[in-house]
Structure 1
Amino acid sequence: MSTPLASRTLQDLGPVAQLRAGHLPRRLVQMTVGLVCYGVSLGLMVGGAVGLAPWDVLHSGIATHVPLTLGQVLILASFVVLLAWIPLRERPGLATLANPFVLGLSADATIALVGQVDGLLDRVALMVGGVLLCGFASALYIGAQLGRGPRDGLMTGLARRTGLSLRLVRTGLEVAVVLGGLALGGIVGVGTLLYALAIGPLTQAMLPLFTVDLRAPRAVVPGASAPGRDDG
């Protein structure tokens, strides 16, 4: 019997427990598809050129000063962020390590494929499509329950350590990286605002659909019939 969507919950598991929690093949595929879609969504927003996601404002600003692509900057910045996990005692997972590489490579591939788009309507469509795809992708990879991404872990770790709400910590982080990226020449625009306002509600709405239920199965009493089986 399938688990009702409303009763599916995210669990705070260590890396070994994540791998032992069941449904691993499905979760690995879901995580990978989610991370690839996430990277594609970032590339679409770059193609739209009407504002990037907050962290990508910073990445794009850094990329203007170094001989690296946006995806390569994203990968390197992710591992710098992971250093902050050490004092916060965040627990990594498979998705934590896969996140930088899959996002960075798929973002660069999408940027190369999309190229420069000139028409305003086309650019707005890419931006809106990127935000919608990012919400879908976030629900996919988070719902796989194989660990948080570097930036998500920084947010949850700071919230736990400071006692502040996740919303307040996230807002503070995103304002800080947008200001830093803006100072470096990053791409800020209406897409940045749309992303900030929409990504949370989009992810929250879709997350129950993709959260894999990891609750332990009901114990079978010796001598009892298996559910759904007729031993007559």
Structure 2
Amino acid sequence: MLVSVLLNAFGNALTVKTALGSAPWTAASLNLSSVFGITVGQALIIVGFIVLIADDFLRGRRSRSLLRDSFNFLYVLSFGYMIDVWLLLMRHMTVNGFILRIAVCVFGIMCIGCALSIYFRVNLVLHPFDDLMKILREKFFHGNVVLAQRVSLGIPLAVGLSIGLVRHQLIGISIGTAVSFLCMGYFILLFDKVLKLHLDRKWTISLPLHHGHHVHAHSKV
């Protein structure tokens, strides 16, 4: 999970640095950060908290869980602040040339896809953005993941475009946004095949005792 958070934040920070468009939720947060004078990570945390509340409303009273919401919000906090850390570390980095910017932007999106592949298989918590897609898929679109993804990602795109139209300045929505919107699912499937995560593999610890005897402890990861 830690690797997933670090890699996801790194990929998003790269797309921000190239200024060629970011993933839809990050693009919306970029526009909000510009309006309110806050960092991208702080904007993502605020948006994540709002979506968390919306998720609970859509899920219904019977399915609400304070413990689950607490863990999901901790994930939102760690992810938001980690993006700010990466952007701080990259503050002196420059990416020159249109072709190089495209390459770095696509690489960043692939890093996000790799991180999501790990994150979905670890299956410990859900970011409210992903939880929203899950709720839409199960409760409103009869299991249609494509439609659920389009609607859930259409929300931040609409927010980003609306802010851009009002301010006459479009931030974070460009080629990278289109690549993320159209190809992220394929990147996740690719890394599902490439990364062999044996998360259910048994491991053994050998504990030495007196007189040369050993005791073996078995568990599962």
- Same fold, TM exceeding 0.5? yes
Q: Offset of 1:163 from its aligned partner? A: 3.4
Judging by fraction of residues, say which structure has more strand: 2
Contact 1:96 / 1:150 at 8 angstroms: preserved in 2? yes
Say if 2:191 is the partner of 1:213: no
Residue 171 of structure 1: aligned partner: 150
1:172 CA drift (Å): 1.4
CA contact (8 A) 1:136 1:202 kept: yes
Distance in 2 between the 1:203 and 1:86 partners?
26
Pairwise mapping of residues 1-232 of structure 1 onto structure 2 (< 5 A)?
A: 31-87=1-57, 88=59, 89=63, 92=68, 96-115=72-91, 116-164=94-142, 165-185=144-164, 186-207=171-192, 209-210=196-197, 212-213=199-200
- Aligned counterparts of 2:19 and 2:64: Cα–Cα separation in 1: 34
Q: For the aligned residues, what is the CA RMSD?
A: 2.3
Structure 2: which amino acid aligns with 1:206? F
Deviation at 1:173, TM superposition (A): 2.0
Write the distance in 2 (CA, Å) between the matches of 1:41 and 1:34: 10
Structure 1, unpaired ranges of 5+: 1-30, 215-232
1:64 and 1:80 mapped to 2: Cα distance?
A: 18
**Counterpart-to-counterpart distance in 1, 2:198 and 2:124:** 11
Structure 2: gaps spanning 5 or more residues: 165-170, 202-221
CA contact (8 A) 1:90 1:153 kept: no
Q: Percent identity?
A: 24
The structure whose residues are more often helix, as a share, is 2
Rounded Cα–Cα distance in structure 2 between residues aligned with 1:125 and 1:163? 35
Instruction: Count residues in correspondence.
Output: 185
User: Taking structure 2 as the reference length, what is the TM-score of the superposition?
Assistant: 0.75
* Alpha-carbon displacement from aligned partner over 1:31-67 (angstroms, at most 9, x marks no partner): 0110111011100000111111011121111111102
**Contact 1:48 1:127 survives alignment (8 Å):** yes
- The equivalent of 1:222 in structure 2 is none
